[in-house]
Amino acid sequence: MNIQSFTPPNRILMGPGPSNIHPRVLKAMGAPIIGHLDPVFIDMMDELKSLLQYAFQTRNALTMPISGPGSAGMEACFVNLVQPDDKVVVCRNGVFGSRMLENVTRTRGRPVVVDDTWGEPVDPQKLDDALKANPDAQLVAFVHAETSTGACSDVATLVEIAHRHGCLAIVDSVTALGGSPLKVDEWGVDAIYSGTQKCLSCVPGLAPLSFNEAAVERLKKRSEPVQSWFLDLNLLVGYWAAGAKRAYHHTAPINSLYALHEALVMLREEGLENAWARHRHHHLALKAGLETLGIRFVVDAAYRLPQLNAVYVPDGVDEALVRQRLLNEFNLEIGAGLGALAGKAWRIGLMGHTCSKDNVLLCLRALNSILSDVGLGIQSGAAEAAARTYYRQTNGN
């Protein structure tokens, strides 16, 4: 076997993540490596915490990126806040609610599951009823932006219900951060985690996380050690503490942190509200084109994520073949359905640097062409024309 240097193709990533990375972020990642306890690197870590506080809209002192993907952020929340026999209400309306449930089980907590239909948001009344029936519950866990369906739940309302019943709230915001409104302090979120490879358009492998004072207090009052040494925030705080002598914990992914720093600088330059508006703007153009093709959305418009567009595959269409042709003929990746939506849906991402007029038009042009080929009787160019009409009417780019 003649193995040589690997050169990946330059794909257009319009799936559920990762998204395409801006050249500025890639350049930052390629900067010279320095020691993870170098004073210059420590200064950058302090800036990174501040930038994450802006992205999360929080002043929480315990705000940092976990060295690991979004799943590591999820696990960090549960291993630090759940002890054996703690009762945790888990709201499940997709794949990632199920993963929250798995974390409760593995930390030997006692889960109470509140189920909602895939494609719908978490029902506040169901949560309230579950907490009334379980007055000894201590934590509530739910997904803000369910990546498997594209449904967005009402964080502020769900957190208020949790607090009214004396519970802390753990929130999964992996797909929301940087793409949809997220206001940690205003909404009273206790513990939240995200990922870097979606709307932040950074490399995978880091998990922004934030705990408020109530969550930190619960952590400090644990009666037994955190289950995971690596994810023990008592130790990680010493590594990320601002203005203090850093305690060695692990060798941070230095160049990935450079990349995250640059991605967050770019988010601040654009402005959070502008980033949220950009994702919605291009979503509406994509929607105009998809509806011209007769493609229906999985999620109702009232709680649909603009950055994660889950749509039903038209009847009689081989969904895997369409995705294969998009990749082979147009160098364009979209995602398949997961779980209950496997084989029935596509997930089209408009995240971060990927979220642009050019990519919307390419995606619609490609889908239009392929679906015309398989005999759906769709007029050539109709989807792209509908999106261009939307852009023209909104003076949009």
Please check whether residue 335 lies inside any domain of the structure: yes
In CATH, what number is assigned to the domain containing residue 386? 3.90.1150.10
**Mutual orientation of helices 95-106 and 70-81 as an angle, nearest 10°?**
40
Residue 173 pLDDT exceeds 60: yes
Please check whether residue 18 lies inside any domain of the structure: no
Shared domain for 263 and 276, answered yes or no, is no
Tell me which of 242, 268, 294 is where a domain ends.
268
Q: Could you tell me the CA-to-CA distances from 19 to 68, 138, 273 in Å, in that order?
A: 17, 36, 20
Reported as a single tens digit per residue, the pLDDT across 344-356 is 999 999 999 999 9
Residue 254 pLDDT exceeds 80: yes
Please check whether residue 277 lies inside any domain of the structure: yes
Please check whether residue 206 lies inside any domain of the structure: yes
Please check whether residue 15 lies inside any domain of the structure: no
Task: Compute the mean pLDDT over every residue in the chain, rounded to the nearest whole number.
Answer: 96
* Residues 67 and 239 sit within 8 Å (Cβ to Cβ): no
Residue 189 pLDDT exceeds 70: yes
Shared domain for 278 and 134, answered yes or no, is no
What is the pLDDT, as a whole number, of residue 375?
74
Confidence of residue 243 (pLDDT cuts 50, 70, 90): low
Shared domain for 210 and 310, answered yes or no, is no
Radius of gyration from C-alpha coordinates of the chain: 22
Higher pLDDT, 243 or 389: 389
What is the pLDDT, as a whole number, of residue 1?
87
CA 243, distance to chain mean position in Å, is: 30
Shared domain for 247 and 305, answered yes or no, is no
What is the pLDDT, as a whole number, of residue 245?
72
Reported as a single tens digit per residue, the pLDDT across 203-214 is 999 999 999 999
Q: Give the pLDDT mean for 153-167.
A: 98
Shared domain for 239 and 358, answered yes or no, is no
Residue 242 pLDDT exceeds 70: no
What is the pLDDT, as a whole number, of residue 68?
97
In CATH, what number is assigned to the domain containing residue 141? 3.40.640.10
Shared domain for 188 and 90, answered yes or no, is yes
Tell me which of 268, 299, 329 is where a domain ends.
268
Please check whether residue 276 lies inside any domain of the structure: yes
Shared domain for 124 and 248, answered yes or no, is yes
Reported as a single tens digit per residue, the pLDDT across 119-131 is 999 999 999 999 9
Q: How many domains does the chain have?
A: 2
What is the pLDDT, as a whole number, of residue 350?
98
HSE (side-chain half, CA atoms, 13 Å) at 217: 5
Please check whether residue 202 lies inside any domain of the structure: yes
Shared domain for 254 and 188, answered yes or no, is yes
Shared domain for 187 and 257, answered yes or no, is yes
Please check whether residue 214 lies inside any domain of the structure: yes
* Residues 69 and 207 sit within 8 Å (Cβ to Cβ): yes
Shared domain for 83 and 162, answered yes or no, is yes
Shared domain for 86 and 139, answered yes or no, is yes
Residue 244 pLDDT exceeds 60: no
Tell me which of 268, 283, 311 is where a domain ends.
268
Shared domain for 208 and 286, answered yes or no, is no
Domain assignment of residue 329, given as a range = 272-393
What is the pLDDT, as a whole number, of residue 162?
98
What is the pLDDT, as a whole number, of residue 300?
98
